[in-house]
Amino acid sequence: MKKKSKIIIAVNILLVLLIPVPTRYKDGGSVRYRAVLYDISKYHQLDLESETGYNDGWNIKILGISVFNNFD
């Protein structure tokens, strides 16, 4: 019985670390997904000087270290 309860506790902790909480910004449609272990930001900001009218890009961080960023 102890082994089963330890497995259940480990699965619950893993879920808490991996399930993101979305945050939507009022800048044209940007969304940020934050979990304890990672942070993913999808930028879609209004920009009147751009050809398309928007600045688009991604920023991915794992454990606080940026691993991918194509947004200036």
Q: In this predicted structure, what is the pLDDT of residue 43? A: 93
Encoding tokens for residue 67?
Answer: 């691993």
Burial of 16 (0-12, 13-18, 19+ CB in 10 A): exposed
Instruction: Give the sign of the dihedral formed by CA 34, CA 38, CA 39, CA 40.
Output: negative
Q: pLDDT tens, position by position, for the chain (72 residues)?
A: 788 899 999 999 999 899 999 999 988 889 999 999 999 999 998 888 888 888 899 999 999 999 999 987
Nearest to 21 by CA among 46, 1, 38, 2: 38
Q: In this predicted structure, what is the pLDDT of residue 9? A: 92
Q: Is the pTM of this model over 0.95?
A: no
